[in-house]
Amino acid sequence: MSSTKWMWRQALVLILAMLFLPWLALSQQGQQPAPTPPQQDQSAPDSGGPGGDTGVIAVPKKKPADEAPAPAPAAPKLKTEEGNKTFTLNVDVPEVTVEVGVLLEKNQIFVSGLKPGNFRVYEDGVPQKVLGFKRTEAPITALMLLEFASTNYNFIYDMRNAAFSFANQLRPQDYVALMTFDLHTQILTDFTQDKQQIQQAINTLRIPGFSDRNLFDALYEAIDRLERIEGKKYIILIASGRDTFSKINLDKILAKIKSTHDITIYAISTGGALRVMTEGRGGWTGQMRDMDYLQADNEMKTFANLTQGKWFAPRFAGEMPDIFNSINQSIRSKYQIVYRPTNTKQDGTFRKIKIELVDGEGKPLQIIDKDDKKQRPLKYEIIARDGYKAKQQVE
């Protein structure tokens, strides 16, 4: 073997010895794990920052999941003793409102300045305590109900004259409708504040079609229409008062009028001048006619009195302005009295109302004319509803 090959072998052996010699030493002595350096505290504070100056990035601590809110306490239950039952109590305490007009008989002027102590209220003869009192003056809502029948031109002339006199005294805030009747009813003008429209409608009433006049039916229908309107209403009834073929009799129309609460009737009878000139003439036929008109006057007066209104029987055209001036005074200026009836029964009966005026000592009130040197008391009239119908208890 040449020297060169021997040298390469020696070098290879030396290299292998150097590589495997440390491994053999370790296998003989047993491998001991190297001690690990002490670790620094890496716990993170609650804020999520690192715990020391060096080390890995700290992960923020996870906060515990929000706990579900505690359930609300149950509402306390009221317990009743055994044998006792729960119940409800409904109390219906009615109140009655009465509008009272006080007018001087001499000139039909409204008497102002009265106080609550001047009014004494009776219901079926029993004194009542006044709870509310005030003076009212407001626009009016009225329906003119006119008899337009082919009987005698004097009746039509009086009707037209009275209707024009009422229309001339209307104010801009008033609402008025116009309705006529003979055998049937007809609405010429619905409720309006246009005075000129009312006057034009009256001017068309020239040639009537029928001689029959169904007063009871027409008045019943007029009340039905007005009851649908809230608030205080008035019927200006201008007619002869006679009825021919109404389906409704006198008792039914009187019951209808008594059941109304917010409707007042002012009745003006027509044909007064003709009746005066022909009274007592024509023998038995004339006497029967006179009796019919007396009965018609009583019916017209009753319609008005039952609703705290007033009845007029003019004979001349010159009386009309004063009549409707009196109506305006009575309608627009009133005292309103409220009381709670001592009779609280809801039996549907008719209760009579009576109003008296007294002074501070409880004596009948005397109104003195300051211009009268003799200081004589003036006569006055109290315009108030005769009564009302109590509510009917519903079973």
> Using one digit for the tens of pLDDT, what is the confidence trace for 126-159?
999 999 999 887 789 999 999 998 878 889 999 9
6 has pLDDT over 90: no
Which pLDDT belongs to residue 90? 45
d(CA 351, CA 391): 11
d(CA 337, CA 353): 12
Q: 88-124 b/e with 16+ CB inside 10 Å = b?
A: eeeeeeeebebbbbbbbeeebbbbeebeeebbbbebe
Asked whether the beta carbons of 274 and 267 are under 8 A apart, the reply is: no
Tell me the whole-structure pTM to 2 decimals: 0.60
pLDDT in tens, 310-319: 899 998 888 9
Question: Lowest mean pLDDT: which of 165-169, 285-289, 344-348?
Answer: 285-289
Strand partners, 357: 119
Which pLDDT belongs to residue 94? 80
Maximum average pLDDT range among 95-99, 219-223, 334-338, 344-348 = 219-223
Amino acid at 103: L
**Domains, the chain, with CATH or none:** 92-137+334-395 (2.60.40), 138-332 (3.40.50.410)
**Quick one: CA torsion of 101, 161, 293, 260, rounded to 10 degrees?**
-40
Q: 147-181 b/e with 16+ CB inside 10 Å = b?
A: bbbebeeebbebbbbbbebbbeebeeebbbbbbbb
Please, how many CA atoms are within 13 Å of residue 362, restricted to the half-sphere of its CB?
1
Asked whether the beta carbons of 145 and 177 are under 8 A apart, the reply is: no
% residues pLDDT > 90 (the chain): 42
Task: Estimate the crossing angle of helix 283-305 against helix 250-259, to 10 degrees.
Answer: 20
